[in-house]
Amino acid sequence: MYKQIDSNKRKTVFLMVIFITFVLVLGYFFGELSGYGYAGVVLAAIIAFIMTLVSYYSGDKVALATTGAKEIKKEDNPYVYRMVENLCITAGLPLPKIYLINDSAPNAFATGRDPEHASIALTTGLIDSLENEELEGVIAHELSHVKNYDIRIMMVVIVLVGVVALLSDMFVRIKIFGNRNNKGNAGAIIAIVGLVLMILSPLIAKVIQLAVSRKREYLADASGSLLTRYPAGLANALEKISKYKNPMKRAGTATAHLFIANPYFSAKKFASKLFMTHPPIEERIKKLRGMA
């Protein structure tokens, strides 16, 4: 378990370094081609940061509302409430708000900018279909997202994606094709490389964002298993979840990455691994079975 946790943390840091380097390189080409230096990069960063900040403080409410989640108290479902409560005590976390989603598809997600402002949502299908140890494994996974500050990490990633998208849009709008900083052959090469990079950059940024998201899922699997000391519980839960092929009723593309498993299931069956919001469940189960 510790080996898996350390490995996934290193991989996340590596991906973040690549992403930041990519944005800096993109900023360099933008400055070279536009003649505006780094002013455009700074402006794009400010706009993306403001947009993400709004999402950061209100995104949890939007995610819960779009899925139709309803908050519960202990008297509404003592079984689920006490399980979350006990795991929070074990993990040293404050008790998050607990929500239920009336949906037969087994799934769950956690949201919130930090442990003090966290929420966890479970579908009724998840609660009905899983045994005690399996449900405990899923809840521990979601609480690990909270403890690992995954929402905060993804906020940084989304800011970087926003910067890339804005720079690409600005590249087109200011018509850089007539390079005002032409420096002979070197300038032409920079212009060609910059043009290709600007066109492909939104796609590259999205691929890196999804890669970071998948690594955080692996990390939450390992951290959750460390919390329960029973990896088989989560592995069994994922096996049951993977057998349910109908998509959730009210899951949106904007919130799909939050769930413990892709809420669309069969709809994403043929998608490339590069564009998957989650690692393949088979790989996650294999890693969990190999933990000791």
35: left (phi over 0), alpha (psi -120 to 50) or beta: left
- HEC string of the chain? CHHHHHHHHHHHHHHHHHHHHHHHHHHHHHHHHHCCCCHHHHHHHHHHHHHHHHHHHHHHHHHHHHCCCEECCCCCCHHHHHHHHHHHHHHCCCCCEEEEECCCCCCEEEECCCHHHCEEEEEHHHHHHCCHHHHHHHHHHHHHHHHCCHHHHHHHHHHHHHHHHHHHHHHHHCCCCCCCCCCHHHHHHHHHHHHHHHHHHHHHHHHHHHHHHHHHHHHHHHHHHHHHCCHHHHHHHHHHHHHCCCCCCCCCCCCHHHECCCCCHHHHCCCCHHHCCCCCHHHHHHHHHCCC
Q: Rounded CA gap, 278 and 291, in Å? A: 20
Q: Which residues have C-beta within 8 Å of that of residue 164, sequence separation ≥ 6?
A: 22, 23, 26, 201, 202, 204, 205
Our answer to whether residue 142 is catalytic in this structure is yes
Smallest Cα–Cα separation from 68: which of 252, 264, 241? 252
Of 134, 136, 142, 217, the active-site residue reads 142
Tokens of 277: 């919001």
Q: Indicate which residues carry an active-site annotation.
A: 142
